[in-house]
Amino acid sequence: RKTVRAQNQRELDKKVRELKNSVEKGKDLHTNATFGFWAERWYYDLKEPSGLAPATLTQLRSALKVLNAAFSDVVFKDISFSTLQRFVNNYSKTPLERTGSLPSKRTIKNVVNTFNAVAEYAAESDIPAAVPFKKVAINKNAPEKKRRALTEKEIDHIRETEHPAQIAAMIMIFAGLRRGELVPLRWADIDLDREIINLKRFVLVENSQFVEKNAGKTYSARRIIPLPPVLVDYLKDYRRSGKATSMLVCPKEDGKMHSPSSFRVMWDGYIKLLNYRYGFAEPHE
């Protein structure tokens, strides 16, 4: 038995025809199955129903997309250690399509670990030679993303530079909110007299979109965030200026909630403006 999945009827019919042709030609659909076949089974039969966070599943899908581009139609047992190592070497030197930058060491490790997880799953199903390659080398010079606290001067730059993303940056800096808490934040959640934010909801990324979730029905399930005077003054001035035209604190231009892509575009635009105004030659997040 083989499960066939597709995004639409046309694609499904094509896959069924290909499967029938393989059967008629006497192809062994088990031991000679491709990496793409086992990757799909691993994800849909094991990982998707496992209760992992949507962000984790998104990372796994991203890694599988990279791997399938190279190995989807390759018989799994024909993938050698040297083949995978050459693939990893080339991948580490190829700029990412979305950002134009080289993949980080963490991204490369995610791809290698995902390959090995699929290999372990296939090996447990008695597929000859489908074994994980634990000794794949990752370029030690691959870029690493390191986080640090902003300096006082950088905070001053943000306070002095108006932009649609400025309010997001101010709330993140002075109230410690994460993106997932900021995106669905409403003005009704902010009590400027009591100087608090009452976090009642958050968003998760599912299928490349933000999906709103309630923090919980009980008082203890919600976060109460105290606001420092500098942020209280900023938010009061922001409201007095007439900029707050939506029930959302940081909406899109049309007043609706951001999507992951629209938030990234807005944020990247603010970073570029700050870089340009304060003389950084390279992106300085």
Q: Which residues of 34-59 are buried (b: 16+ CB within 10 A; e: fewer)?
A: bbbbbbbbbbeeebeeeeeeeeebbb
Would you state the structure tokens that stand for residue 101, as one six-digit string? Answer: 């930058």
Residue 184 has what DSSP assignment? T
pLDDT tens, 74-133? 888 788 889 999 999 999 988 888 777 888 888 999 999 999 999 888 877 766 556 678
What gap in Å lies between CA 121 and CA 64, rounded to an integer?
14
Q: What is the pTM of this model?
A: 0.60
- Residue 169: which of 271, 275, 19, 47 has the closest Cα? 271
Q: Where are the alpha helices (DSSP H) in 42-165?
A: 54-71, 81-92, 105-123, 152-160
Q: Answer yes or no: are the C-beta atoms of 104 and 142 closer than 8 Å.
A: yes
Residues above pLDDT 90, as percent of the chain: 45
CA atoms within 13 A on the CB side of 65: 9
Which residue is it, tokens 């393989």? 22
Q: What is the pLDDT of residue 281?
A: 55
Residues above pLDDT 70, as percent of the chain: 88
Residue 225 has pLDDT above 90, yes or no: yes
Rounded to the nearest integer, the mean pLDDT of the chain is: 85
Q: Answer yes or no: are the C-beta atoms of 39 and 68 closer than 8 Å.
A: yes
